[in-house]
């Protein structure tokens, strides 16, 4: 998009990007703290930012601890991306096939059991946030405990593959059952549950027997060992998405939940170090109530506010914009806080 910056300027138009939740609200409060610290003579030694759009804990009642508030395909594809970030001053890379197995427990509040893993490429944010001094810099995703191991197993089994398979195409006759299709995907010798479990055990790695039992139970819950016919969509990933769509939607009365947190490790001119956090924890209205989900509100309202500020002339810049500088981010942040009660709570921990 930035390649179009000059053309947008020449056309005299504003193309506003990255103004939802993540990216969006995260930028507003990252820039706020970074500018404050720099203006007081400090340095940002480490910046960690993690966000998760999740079901409320009481509604995380399926093997993935997850329900879809956006594209199932997008969720699963994001779990295959290679990640880059800074750790101890060095650029680190995690290949996509190992991303989920590198997820680690991440503490925010004692009442939540999160795991976290890095998103795509965090390294440009040294420059975008003007923190060349940062030795650690990660932007990542939060999931409930156990989710990454399950997704890693699906990848190891070939269930996230986009490779076309004749037996999964809509033209296939007869349409296979899930146990027949799953047997072919994992290379099982037969399609009995015993054969399928043996194939799963031979292709996937588990931390222990309890984890294996939990994931096998989850595969069973999704219907992959069953006589139910697949919805043929051509490849394992899209067939799996069809199975998930029917089982992982929000039901009436259920709520979604968003957690976003920045952690800043700060070094002051006298050598003293300090840890600050900025945290957003928000629940949506119950499904079927007529209200907004947390995801809809936290993505939609910032975007709408930015559009109105452009239309009203409060933001006059032309070209391709994102709220990663104080002159753009500050008025949006203040309006979200004052008019809509959308804010990240800031604390100094030590």
Q: Which residues participate in catalysis according to the annotation? A: 22
User: Of 149, 35, 145, which is closest to residue 101 (Cα–Cα)?
Assistant: 149
Is the preceding omega at residue 174 within 30 degrees of 0, hence cis?
A: yes
Burial of 171 per CB tally in 10 Å (0-12, 13-18, 19+):
exposed
Question: At a CB cut-off of 8 Å and minimum separation 6, what does 104 contact?
Answer: 115, 116, 117
**Cβ–Cβ under 8 Å, residues 276 and 347:** yes
Read off the tokens for 239: 């067939």
Within 13 A of 237's CA, how many CA atoms are on the CB side?
A: 16
User: Of 268, 267, 337, 309, which is closest to residue 28 (Cα–Cα)?
Assistant: 337
Spatial separation of the C-alpha atoms in residues 286 and 275, rounded to whole Å: 35
Read off the tokens for 120: 């795509």
343 Cα distance to chain centroid = 20
DSSP state of 342: -
Spatial separation of the C-alpha atoms in residues 195 and 183, rounded to whole Å: 8
């Amino acid at each position: 998009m930035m390649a179009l910056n000059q053309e947008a300027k020449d056309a005299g138009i504003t193309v506003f990007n990255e103004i939802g939740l993540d990216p969006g609200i995260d930028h507003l409060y990252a820039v706020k703290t970074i500018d404050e610290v720099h203006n007081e003579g400090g340095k940002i030694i480490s910046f960690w930012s993690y966000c998760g759009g999740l079901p409320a804990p009481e509604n995380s009642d399926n093997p993935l601890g997850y329900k879809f508030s956006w594209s199932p395909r997008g969720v699963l594809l994001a779990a295959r991306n290679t990640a880059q970030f800074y750790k101890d001053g060095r650029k680190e890379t995690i290949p996509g096939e190992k991303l989920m197995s590198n997820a680690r427990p991440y503490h925010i509040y004692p009442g939540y059991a999160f795991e976290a893993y890095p998103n795509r490429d965090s390294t440009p944010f040294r420059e975008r946030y003007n923190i060349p001094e940062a030795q650690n810099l990660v932007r990542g995703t939060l999931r409930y405990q156990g989710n990454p191991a399950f997704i890693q197993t699906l990848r190891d089994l070939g269930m996230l593959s986009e490779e076309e398979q004749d037996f999964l195409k809509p033209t296939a006759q007869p349409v296979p059952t899930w146990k027949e299709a799953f047997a072919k995907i994992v290379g099982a010798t037969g399609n009995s549950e015993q054969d399928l479990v043996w194939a799963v055990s031979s292709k996937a790695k588990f931390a222990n027997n309890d984890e294996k039992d939990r994931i096998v139970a989850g595969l069973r819950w999704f219907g992959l060992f069953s006589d139910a016919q697949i919805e043929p969509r051509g490849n394992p990933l899209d067939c799996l998405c069809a199975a998930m769509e029917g089982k992982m939607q929000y039901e009436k009365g259920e709520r979604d939940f968003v957690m976003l947190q920045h952690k800043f490790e700060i070094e002051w001119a006298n050598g003293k170090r300090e840890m600050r956090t900025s945290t957003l924890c928000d629940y949506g209205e119950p499904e079927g109530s007529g209200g907004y989900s947390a995801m809809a509100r936290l993505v939609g309202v910032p975007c709408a506010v930015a559009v109105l500020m452009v239309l009203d002339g409060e933001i006059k810049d032309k070209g391709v914009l994102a709220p990663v500088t104080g002159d753009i981010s500050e008025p949006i942040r203040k309006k979200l806080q004052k008019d809509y009660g959308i804010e990240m709570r800031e604390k100094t921990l030590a």
